[in-house]
Amino acid sequence: MGKKLIIMKNITKRFGDNLVLDDFNLYINENEFITLLGPSGCGKTTCLRILGGFETADEGTVEFDSKIINNLEPNQREINTCFQKYALFPHLNVFDNIAFGLKIKKLDKATIHTRVMDILKMVKLTGFEHRAISTLSGGQQQRVAIARALINRPKVLLLDEPLAALDLKLRQEMQYELKEMQRELGITFVYVTHDQEEALTMSDTIVVMDHGKILQIGTPEDIYNEPNSRFVANFIGESNIIPGKMKEDYLVEFFNKEFECVDKGFKKDEAVDVIIRPEDIDFVPPSKAKIVGTVDSLIFRGVHYEINVMIEGKEITIHTTKYRKIGDKVGLSVEPNNIHIIKHIKTCVD
C-alpha cells in the first residue's frame, strides 16, 4: 500500500434535520480499492459526493495529496466519478461522451482521437464510437461511463453503485473487469455499494457504514471472519447470533453448554452475543454432539442446502452439502476459531 492520498477528518453533514454523516473519519491509500458498504441511507453516497465536490461538508476537512480541498469545485479536482445510472449525455454519441473531458481541456483533435480509441479498446467497445447512447445495453453504457471518467486520468475514481442496474451474470463479469482495471491502471477506486458480495469480491479494504458512522474497517477477510458487531455480522453474509455468557477467557457458554473459543478480555459471566456463520456448523451424530436439534425446514440452494435446525426453541441456520430430512434429529459441532464473541447489545428484537 502506498501513502495516504485522501484524509477525511471529522466530516459532519446534515440535510435539514437529518444527520447524514456524523463525525466521519477515514483515510484512503494510494492505489487502494476501498468500498463503502452499507444499507441505503447510511451516508455512503453523501461521502462519495463530498469527495467528488458535489456536496460540501458542514464540518470537518477533506485532504487530498496533503492539501485541503473542501472548497475546490468538482472540475478542479483530480477525481472523476462514475455515476449511479451512469449519467451519460443523451445528446452526444459514445465518442463525444468519452471525449467530453478532453475537449473541455482543449486537447488537439488527434490526441483526443487516439486516447478515445485506446480507452474504447480497454473497455472492449471498439467500433461503438458513433453509436447513440440510447441504443446501448446497460452493460455497454456502464463501460462508456467508466471510459468517460478514466480518460481524464484521475488519481481517484469514485464509483456510485455502478453495477446496481445490471443483471447477475453481467454484474459478476464486471466485478472481475473492474478489479483488473484498477490493478492495471494503478488508480485509487472508491466504490459505493449495498451489495456485500460485490464488496467482498473486489475490495482491498471494506468500510461498513450505518447511520452516518463507520462500524468497521478492514480487509474482506477481517470483516467476514471477525465482525465486530451484530450489525456487521448480519449485513455481511448470513449469521446465527446466539445469546451467551462468557465463563472465562477462551470459554463461552450458550445453549447451556460450554464451548472453547479464541476470544478473551470479557468480564466473568458477562452476557455476550455468539456469532456463528451457517457454513461453519457441521453435522455430527447426535450421540457425539454437545448440541442436538431437529430439522425444521430445508431449502435446496444449488451449491448447498440451507437447513434450519430448532434447538431449545431457537432456530439455527446451517449451510451444508449433507442432506437431512425434515424432522431428523441432528447433532451440531463448531470449531473454536469459528465462534466469534461480541459484546451483547440490547435490541428490541430479543
Partner 1 sequence: MMKLSLKRKIIRIIGLSFTVLSFLMIFTPILVILVLSINASTKGYSWEGFTLKWYLELFQKDVMREPIMNTLVIAFASTIIATVLGTMFAIGINALEKKKRIQMMVINNVPVVNPDIVTGISLMIVFSLLSFTLGYYTVLIAHVFFSIPYVVLSIMPRLKKLDPNLYEAGLDLGCSRISGVFRVILPNISTGIISGALMAFTMSIDDFIITYFTSGAEYMNVSTWLYATLSRGRSFTPAAYAYNIIIFAITIAIILFVNLKRDRKEKTV
**Least distance (Å) between residue 75 CB and partner 1:** 5
Q: Which is nearer to partner 1, 148 or 230 (CB)?
A: 148
**Least distance (Å) between residue 324 CB and partner 1:** 50
CA distance 36 to 233: 16
What does the binding site for partner 1 look like in residue numbers (CB under 8 A)? 52-54, 73-75, 79-81, 83-91, 100-101, 104-105, 132, 134, 148-149, 152
Sheet-wide strand order for 314-320: 281-284, 329-334, 291-300, 305-311, 314-320
Torsion of CA 171, 174, 178, 180, to 10 degrees: 130
**Least distance (Å) between residue 90 CB and partner 1:** 6
Q: Which is nearer to partner 1, 73 or 350 (CB)?
A: 73
Q: Which is nearer to partner 1, 133 or 261 (CB)?
A: 133
Sheet-wide strand order for 205-210: 79-82, 156-160, 188-193, 33-37, 205-210, 213-218
Q: Which is nearer to partner 1, 102 or 307 (CB)?
A: 102
**Least distance (Å) between residue 148 CB and partner 1:** 7
Q: Which is nearer to partner 1, 33 or 86 (CB)?
A: 86
If you ran DSSP here, which 8-state letter would residue 133 be given? G
CA distance 46 to 20: 7
Give how far the C-alpha of residue 198 lies from the chain's centroid of Cα atoms, to the nearest Å: 6
CA distance 36 to 45: 9
**Least distance (Å) between residue 105 CB and partner 1:** 6
